[in-house]
Structure 1
Amino acid sequence: MDSKKLKKILEERLKTKERQISYDKKQDKLRIESVKTNKGITLSLPGIVSRYETEKEKAIDDVVYYIDQALIVMDKSQNLSGKEHQIFPVIRSTSFPTETQDGKKLLYKDHTAETRIFYAVDLEQSYRLIDRAFMDNEGVTEQAIFEMAGFNLRSLTNERKKDVVADNTFYFINYNDGYDASRILNQHLLEEMADTAKGQLTVAVPHQDVLIFGDIVNNQGYDVLAQMTMHFFTTGNIPITSLPFIYEDGKLEPIFILAKNRPVEDK
């Protein structure tokens, strides 16, 4: 699979009378827009080609589904009335845009050197990131959004899958509900994991749909953590960061892990 072939496949599967598709050859990006609203999604084809190497047709199916759902949401108007229980925080990388393509400023808070917290209205099959113009129109304050999002996040289930490698224990939260990585904001969950850890507690959010805890008791555990985090980072739909975090004294510190060595804190 190469970009040229992928472009043709995506154009065939995404083309409708209500959409306009354009291609930026220089940046190798495909833009799909709604004719109705002129809003749309830009896809970087090399990243999808890379996913195709490991996931095959599933990679393309996921992209098509994501685009279809996102454009449906863009064509509809949303409001917050009656949706207070559907507001959630979402974790993104610090490189994620803080404005929409039409210049609206998104509501966000700084989190770590690698991550930011944005806020969204859940729409079941997709969600809409909350911008400040939307907040003003709805007459709601940012503090109210923060509180509702935090409350709703704490209501989510946090059951973990467990795996042990060379005496190091790894726990995975992977509900694919759009808020797996967001659970890193649940302070009670972090404290619970820290209390039960026998060694150093690490936390990773390589992409939106997974949260990884590592109870690291030896050097091999750090190597496994580094490889695992990088793998998830390169295969996820919405990558966040390939750097895991050490959790100590209620704080998250991003770390570099050198092969066969203990981590070095990212200052």
Structure 2
Amino acid sequence: MDSNKMRRELERRLKDPSRSITFDREKDTLRIENTNNGRGITISLPGIIAKWQEQKDKAIDEVVYYVTEGLQAMEGQVRFSGHERNIYPVIRSTSFPDEAEEGVPFFFDDHTAETRIYYALDMGKTYRLIDMNLLQKEGWTESQVRETALFNVRSLQTSLKEDHVAGNVFYFMNSNDGYDASRILNEAFLNDVKKRIEGTMALAVPHQDVLIIADIRNNTGYDVLAQMAMSFFASGRVPITALSFLYEKGQLEPIFILGKNRR
């Protein structure tokens, strides 16, 4: 599958009288716009092709689904009032764009050296990242959005799956509600898990739909965690970071794991 074939397949599946589709050969991207409001989504073809190599048509199905849902969300009226329970924080990498394609800055907070906290309004099957224009339009302060989002993420269920590998314990949050990685902001939850940890507590948020918590009891545990994080990062729909973090005294510290050594 090359860019031309992928472009033609996506154009075929996304074709609609209410949309315009533009291919940027230099950037190897496809821009799909709603002709009614001029808003749209730009997708990078190399990333989709890479996923297609492993997932075949499932990779294309996911792109079509999220582009379609995203465009529909852009058509609707976005209001905070009456939808306060639908505001959540989302974790993204520091390389994630800091403004919308229209040039409007997103509202976000620094988190770690590898991650940022963006804020989103959940709209059912998709969500819209909150930008400064929307913030001003709704008359909310940054503190109001931040406090509401953190309150809501604390209300999400926190059941974990457990696995044992080479004498280490790994816990997985994988509810697929779009906010699994966001649970890393629930300090009460993390501190509760910390009580179970017998070794060193480490975490990973390789993509938005998984949170890995590790009870590292020997050096092999670091290698296993690194391999898990890289595997999830490579297969995630919204990758965040392949690095892991130590969790000590309520703080997250990125760690670089090389072979059986860590630093």
- Identify whether the pair has TM-score above 0.5, normalized to the shorter chain: yes
Matched, 1:42 2:47: no
Matched, 1:111 2:111: yes
Matched, 1:83 2:87: no
| Match runs of 1:16-31 below 5 Å | 16-31=16-31
Query: The residue matched to 1:68 in structure 2 has which SS?
Result: helix
| Residue of structure 2 in register with 1:146 after alignment | 146
Partners in 1 of 2:168 and 2:246 — Cα distance? 15
| Match runs of 1:88-99 below 5 Å | 88-99=88-99
| Match runs of 1:100-249 below 5 Å | 100-249=100-249
Unmatched 5+ residue regions in structure 2? none
Partners in 2 of 1:36 and 1:153 — Cα distance? 34
Distance apart, 1:72 and its partner CA? 0.3
Distance apart, 1:191 and its partner CA? 0.8
Query: The residue matched to 1:79 in structure 2 has which SS?
Result: coil
Q: Which amino acid aligns with 2:56?
A: K
Partners in 2 of 1:171 and 1:56 — Cα distance? 29
Partners in 2 of 1:250 and 1:233 — Cα distance? 24
RMSD (Å), alpha carbons: 1.0
1:83-106 Cα distance to aligned partner (Å, 9 max, x none): 011110011111111111112121
Distance apart, 1:143 and its partner CA? 1.0
Distance apart, 1:77 and its partner CA? 2.0
| Residue of structure 2 in register with 1:68 after alignment | 68
Show structure 1 runs of 4+ deviating over 4 A.
Answer: none
Distance apart, 1:29 and its partner CA? 1.2
TM-score (norm 1): 0.96
Aligned-residue identity in percent: 54
Unmatched 5+ residue regions in structure 1? none
The total of aligned residue pairs comes to 263
Q: Which amino acid aligns with 1:34?
A: N
Q: Which amino acid aligns with 1:58?
A: K
Q: Which amino acid aligns with 1:204?
A: A
Distance apart, 1:142 and its partner CA? 1.2
1:121-160 Cα distance to aligned partner (Å, 9 max, x none): 1101011111122112111111111111111100000101
Partners in 2 of 1:65 and 1:108 — Cα distance? 26
1:62-96 Cα distance to aligned partner (Å, 9 max, x none): 11100000000111221111001111001111111
Partners in 2 of 1:139 and 1:45 — Cα distance? 38
Distance apart, 1:260 and its partner CA? 2.2
Partners in 1 of 2:158 and 2:239 — Cα distance? 21
